[in-house]
Amino acid sequence: MAMARRLASSLLSHSLYAARCSSSLFPGARTHDLAFGVLRMFSMAAEPITPPVEVHHTQLLIDGKFVDSASGKTFPTLDPRTGEVIAHVAEADLEDVNRAVSAARKAFDEGPWPKMTGYERSHILYRFADLIEKHNDEIAALETWNSGKPYEHTSQKEVPLVTRLMRYYAGWADKIHGLTVPADGPYHVQVLHEPIGVAGQIIPWNFPLMMFAWKVGPALACGNTIVLKTAEQTPLSALYVSKLLHEAGLPAGVLNVVSGFGPTAGAAIASHMDIDKLVFTGSTVTGKIVLELAARSNLKPATLELGGKSPMIVMDDADIDQAVELAHFALFFNQGQCCCAGSRTFVHERVYDEFVEKSKAHALKRIVGDPFKNGVQQGPQVDEKQLNKIMHYIESGINSGATLVAGGNRIGNKGFYVQPTVFSDVKDEMAIAREDIFGPVQSILKFKDLDEIIRRANATEYGLAAGVFTNNMNTANTLMRALRVGTVWFNCFHVFDPTIPFGGYKMSGQGREKGIDSLKNYLQVKAVVTPLKNPAWL
């Protein structure tokens, strides 16, 4: 409550809201942007709102204790609203990963966790969920501060969903069991499902806490131990909740969390001989690197959730206003930083022009600003590297002949804000239609008929998700089977319930997270065969 009051008063003291887009506020803006109307956002000159939380944990978490890195090195973690340093965080390298793996190995081979009953493990996970719920607003504030996501979303949606995910996996912990199978002969055959061992988990920055939950939840429910590396951009929230997990009763060494960079700490995890399973979310390029490291070391199995270029298909029977809104959400949600973003908006030619006009109006209405301010829909991109990548793609869209209908500029020169950007007349071969931009840049393409859209939607190396807007059952039945993707959302998008499996076809990855399928990532299957002395009882 105190937290909510502090935030409310902080929000009131920053009433510079919905400042009109003017050339003095956006010196870099092209003149035609200003003619688009009012892009509502706070003045970038305003002081950023003070986050209603303090940073307590910046060290590595190894064997139940917060410790410095072996080298003593730290790296700064930044506030994407300003580019300023929030805190210096201990930087893990090979030696720290070795220490973390030793702790996890010992906790698996000798500790109580894998031997506990599922019911005991579920209790700890339920208590953890209660603690996340209790500290919801502080965790959300830390997540917003470190990643730039709107606080309204982290506090009302993402952190509550993390609580929900933990309860989902707590519920599984005492329901994981094997089978007996009827072999063709005088044998009693059991199939045991055992924890796989030490899981090495590498997560990205676009959903730092959610990715933590998707990975840690099933691994713990199945009785494994963990070494997890956070993304170098966003180490803070995982350290905070890991402390809570120990308060909930997790034995030391079961979860070890290291902050650090990919080619050092990340590669040390992927290639470690004492890690039994690798689970990774991030780019396809890095996914290939970690898979190769896993194969060259101890051939550890890997679950990978990688990039995407998901089609969002709008058929001509669709209610245009609803379709525009959904396609806007499919792309712009989370600053456009979603592996499954609807980043190819395919619109039927009969409704194309109206759709483009309305999408432009929607983008111009989007409220960009300090993510701690109420009503803000879009915060800054996570860091300068992502900002530059997005600006490069906007330039590439313009140069390749797409029509820029909204946005196109960086906002201000402090922090990593980008105008909601819309391109029409996008063609399949353009880089903006093929590559993973990971930013607030919508590409609208035109199509004529069902056969054509099936072929074009599938003509990509990715296969993570697709959205379809239609009320025609025959169209829906055809598309749900024809699209080569791990998720098809009909008349909805970004639905992330804990029960629904998520993952990719093709170069979007392998394996599934969430849902019952996620448990398979963390279980070994052991067949046990005993001859039956009295085959009469077969």
| Catalytic positions | 305
User: How do beta strands 505-506 and 441-447 pair?
Assistant: unpaired
Q: Determine contact, residues 22/44, Cβ cutoff 8 Å.
A: no
Report the C-alpha gap between 236 and 258 in whole angstroms. Answer: 11
Q: Which of 100, 67, 93, 61 is nearest to 265 (CA)?
A: 93
From the list 44-52, 74-82, 105-113, 255-263, the region that binds ligand NAI by CB under 6 A is 255-263
- State the DSSP code for 478: H
CA–CA dist 464, 503 (Å, integer): 6
Can residue 286 be called a binding residue for ligand NAI (CB under 6 A)?
Answer: yes
Binding of ligand NAI by 262 (CB under 6 A): yes
Pick 124 or 290: Cβ nearer ligand NAI: 290
Q: 254, 197 in Cβ contact below 8 A? A: no
**Residue nearer to ligand NAI on the CB measure, 231 or 313:** 231
**Nearest residue to 81 via CA among 378, 352, 358:** 378
Per-residue binder mask for ligand NAI (CB under 6 A), 356-395, x = binder:
------------------------------x--x------
Amino acid code (one letter) for 121? R
CB of 130 to ligand NAI, least distance (A): 28
Smallest separation, CB 450 to ligand NAI (Å) = 29
Q: 193: which 2 tokens?
A: 């499902």
Of 117, 64, 123, whose CA–CA distance to 223 is shortest? Answer: 117
Q: Which is nearer to ligand NAI, 123 or 157 (CB)?
A: 157
Indicate the residue among 154 and 470 with the shorter CB distance to ligand NAI. Answer: 154
Contact 57, 240 (CB under 8 A): yes
CA distance to 282, 299, 359, 499, 503, per residue, from 513 (Å): 14, 21, 32, 10, 6
Tokens of 34: 């200003």
Q: Which of residues 212-241 bind ligand NAI (CB under 6 A)?
A: 229, 231-232
**Which is nearer to ligand NAI, 173 or 209 (by Cβ)?**
209
Contact with ligand NAI (CB under 6 A): which of 159, 173, 267, 312? Answer: 267
x/- mask, ligand NAI, residues 302-321, rule CB under 6 A, reads ---xxx--------------
Task: Figure out which of the listed residues 53, 140, 165, 202 binds ligand NAI, where binding follows CB under 6 A.
Answer: 202
Number of residues that bind ligand NAI (CB under 6 A): 28
Distance CA 268, CA 275 (A): 10
Indicate which single residue of 69, 154, 281, 424 sits in contact with ligand NAI (rule: CB under 6 A).
281
* CB closer to ligand NAI, 286 vs 409: 286
Least distance (Å) between residue 437 CB and ligand NAI: 7
Q: Taking the C-alpha atoms of 261, 262, 265 and 270 in order, what is their torsion angle to the nearest 10 degrees?
A: 170
Residue ranges that bind ligand NAI, judged by CB under 6 A: 202-206, 229, 231-232, 261-263, 266-267, 270, 281-283, 286, 289-290, 305-307, 339, 386, 389, 436, 438
